[in-house]
Structure 1
Amino acid sequence: MKKELQNTVAHLKQGNVILYPTDTIWGLGCDPYNQDAVDQIFTIKKREKSKPLIVLVDTLERLRGLVPKIHPHLENILHYNERPLTIIFPSSVRKWSEGITAENGSIAIRIVQNDFCKSIIKATDRPLVSTSANISDDPFPISFDDIHPRIKDAVDYIVSPQLEERRDEVMPSLIARYSTKQKELVFLR
């Protein structure tokens, strides 16, 4: 895993797009501050920029550095939650590449549970873009073998499929919008 981590980090630092296993499904990833790499993901997926990408973080502490405030109730949910949960926050305290935040300034962030993803984020000291490894509106891939060859050919680096975690059920994360007024999560998926 150490050599795979070094290769992955090197590609991200060069501004490349990676194909990698996450705590949910296989994803396309890059440095969220590299506009060329973010644009490449939109091109690969044939996705409209009006549909922002999500970012992964490794810890609650890193998340705290990206959004203005996290209500203590939400911190408890994030700390104890066992299923991957992507939260759409109303705003961010950082400037991101175009395509990371929505027109209204909101941003989707997930604290990743996959050890390899956490290692990538820690080693780069940056959040990581994540979006499903499929063409927009196509079904998401259940495993590496289900990823369309066009996606595999379009990325700059493919993380070893041996790092894919075997799970009984493979699915995208839950997605919820955090309402600052009601101080609650509104589940969207």
Structure 2
Amino acid sequence: MRFALPLLLKAVDHVKKGGIVAYPTESVWGLGCDPMNQQALENLLALKQRDWRKGLILISGQAAHFDDLLNAEQTKGGARLTAEARTKIASTWPGPTTWLIPLPKTTAYSPLVYGQHSAIAARVTTHPLVVELTRYLDSPIISTSANRAGQPALKGRLQVLKCFGDQVYCLPGDTLGFDRPSAIFDALTGRQLR
């Protein structure tokens, strides 16, 4: 999959300035922003009309972006990931698997990222566009389906442009053609939630 570097760099700049980007993922289009920018998070949730308590997903092309979560010594709930759990997570990344990882006792992430939960959702993707976007940003971004709350997830760039127009910077590209969204697992119990 090829993409134009100038368009990618424009998206990087847009995210750094607090903007929202739309991008293809494995199965659907996603909306994202800087997970450390409170105003960007508020704007994204308002755009989607999404309840903040549901939380959002972090996505990156680099597993190292989640080392602080995976190796947290203390968590808000007191439960730490075992070496076995970290190995299990690593065996599924990169890929279409999202893990709910215990929230560190001290975190720079806003509650708008993890919502009412004591875990934070994270995924390492293989989508080359998102891999490069997060590499240039040197951080994960938010990944939430490109749609309004309660509506079906959008599967094409033209649908995204029709729905959101100039409210987002829409990268070119296609999904990887998967027919379902990523599976979600609880990192502490290994139980599949979706």
Alignment pair present for 1:31 and 2:34: yes
TM-score where L is the length of structure 1: 0.85
Instruction: Tell me if the contact between 1:142 and 1:171 (Cα under 8 Å) persists in the aligned partners.
Output: no
User: Aligned residue for 1:11?
Assistant: 14
Moved over 6 A (4+): none
Instruction: Tell me if the contact between 2:59 and 2:143 (Cα under 8 Å) persists in the aligned partners.
Output: yes
Instruction: Tell me if the contact between 2:53 and 2:114 (Cα under 8 Å) persists in the aligned partners.
Output: no
User: Aligned residue for 2:181?
Assistant: 172
Pick one of 185, 190, 193 that aligns with 1:185: 190
User: Aligned residue for 1:145?
Assistant: 158
User: Aligned residue for 1:119?
Assistant: 132
How many residues get paired?
181
Q: How much does 1:24 deviate? A: 3.2
Instruction: Tell me if the contact between 2:89 and 2:99 (Cα under 8 Å) persists in the aligned partners.
Output: no
CA distance in 2 between counterparts of 1:148 and 1:113 reads 24
Instruction: Tell me if the contact between 2:27 and 2:155 (Cα under 8 Å) persists in the aligned partners.
Output: no
Q: How much does 1:141 deviate? A: 1.6
> Which has the larger helix fraction?
2
Amino acid at match of 1:9: V
- What do you get for the CA RMSD once the two structures are aligned? 2.0
Amino acid at match of 1:87: W
Pick one of 74, 84, 90 that aligns with 1:79: 90
Pick one of 136, 145, 151 that aligns with 2:149: 136
Instruction: Tell me if the contact between 2:155 and 2:175 (Cα under 8 Å) persists in the aligned partners.
Output: no
CA distance in 2 between counterparts of 1:85 and 1:56 reads 10
Alignment partner of 2:191: what SS? Answer: strand
Q: CA 1:86 to 1:166, structure 2 compared with 1: closer, same or farther past 3 Å?
A: closer
User: What 5-or-longer segments of structure 2 have no aligned partner?
Assistant: 73-79
CA distance in 2 between counterparts of 1:45 and 1:135 reads 4
Q: How much does 1:83 deviate? A: 4.5
CA distance in 1 between counterparts of 2:49 and 2:131 reads 27
CA distance in 2 between counterparts of 1:187 and 1:137 reads 22
User: What 5-or-longer segments of structure 1 have no aligned partner?
Assistant: none
Amino acid at match of 2:85: L
Amino acid at match of 2:52: K
Alignment partner of 2:179: what SS? Answer: coil
CA distance in 1 between counterparts of 2:55 and 2:9 reads 28
CA distance in 2 between counterparts of 1:4 and 1:73 reads 40
TM-score where L is the length of structure 2: 0.83
